[in-house]
Amino acid sequence: MQDLLDSSAHDSRDPNPWLAMYLDDSIPINLRTKQALMRDNNSASARLLLPLIHFFSKIAMFFVHVIKFILPTIFNSSKTLHRILAWGLKHFVSPDANLLIFRHFHVGSEILEFIAANIEGLELKTSPLKPKDFEDVKDDLFLKHDLNLYNFIINLNTELKEKSITISTVRKLDLSMITVDQFDHIEFPRGRSNILDLRSAIELFTPFYQFFLTANDFVRASNSLQLDETIAIYTARILGTPGHLGLVNNKHPMIPITTYSAAYRLALHGLAAETLHEILVNIKLGNVNDGIVTPIND
């Protein structure tokens, strides 16, 4: 696997696309995340298993959709779902994919904390989700992630309207909640069965997600992915630099997309969060030429 990230192994007649993406610095992203994502894209699981899992996942989702339409209350159990997810992550998902999944909750929580802390006059409490092990997953982690996002937007805009507050550029940013984290504090299993890449894992888990949640919970979770655009716009108003909006692919939350594309859009959602977080990290470290903002230290 190390050859993937080693430019000395480059063959001009057979260039590795993931080496090109790894060496390219046009998209801001945490270094360890980038390494994990490129190895994940190049894994045997992504190349061999993903096409098959993707096909059977869509068939399973169709039948679950029919079952849920006829029997909407059957097997609704978030607790059971998250126990299955925790077990699956621990025993079948690769260390790189697990890193990407666990990092996402930390990164997303910090972005919401950043927005709440940098709107003058706002008194909004967030509910950070920062799992440290697979036991934390069992506490309805994925469901809470979706609920937190919607509740954040509802509570934020309710307070903005009640107090007649406008989100505007901040000259002295509070970046105390943004961690410069390579995520070395969690060791993920490396057993023989830990082979699934990120998208294969998502595709495999999506029918379970659909089956054990209510139809409303599942549709809401799928639609939440398009809120990437909303969160990016909030951040752009605070920073006064809208350039990063071009990195957002999940857009137009007022026009929902079919749930059958949820797995792919979830991967895009993770990438959008990582790029936005890295922009905030670079501002905190002073690695940007921006006369508008002046980062403050922890």
pLDDT class of 298 with cuts at 50, 70, 90: very low
For residue 41, is it within any domain?
yes
**Distance of alpha carbon 261 from alpha carbon 243, whole angstroms:** 26
Domain range for residue 112?
Answer: 31-285
For residue 6, is it within any domain?
no
Section 97-101 average pLDDT: 97
For residue 251, which of 220, 280, 277, 272 has the smallest C-alpha distance?
A: 272
Section 117-134 average pLDDT: 95
**Distance of alpha carbon 270 from alpha carbon 37, whole angstroms:** 11
**Distance of alpha carbon 282 from alpha carbon 276, whole angstroms:** 10
pLDDT tops 70 at residue 288 = no
**Distance of alpha carbon 113 from alpha carbon 93, whole angstroms:** 29
Section 175-190 average pLDDT: 92
Q: What are phi and psi of 93, to 5 degrees?
A: -95, 140
pLDDT class of 30 with cuts at 50, 70, 90: very high
AA letter at 275: T
Percent of the chain with pLDDT over 90: 79
**Distance of alpha carbon 267 from alpha carbon 197, whole angstroms:** 11
196 forms beta bridges with 93
Can you read off the two tokens belonging to residue 223? 């639609």
**Distance of alpha carbon 104 from alpha carbon 274, whole angstroms:** 7
> What integer pLDDT is reported at residue 73 of this predicted model?
81
For residue 98, is it within any domain?
yes
AA letter at 279: I
DSSP state of 152: H
For residue 20, is it within any domain?
no
**Distance of alpha carbon 5 from alpha carbon 31, whole angstroms:** 12
CA 48 from centre of chain: 24
**Number of independent structural domains in the chain:** 1
For residue 126, is it within any domain?
yes
pLDDT class of 253 with cuts at 50, 70, 90: very high
Q: How many CA atoms lie within 13 A of 268 on its CB side?
A: 18
Length in residues, the chain: 298
For residue 258, is it within any domain?
yes
**Has this prediction a pTM greater than 0.85?**
yes
Who contacts 63 (Cβ-Cβ below 8 Å, separation ≥6)? none
Where do we find the tokens 């972005």? Answer: 111
> What integer pLDDT is reported at residue 1 of this predicted model?
43
Number of alpha helices (DSSP H) and beta strands (DSSP E) in the chain: 12, 0
Q: Rounded to whole angstroms, what are the CA distances from 151 to 68, 128, 220, 278, 283?
A: 26, 12, 12, 24, 27
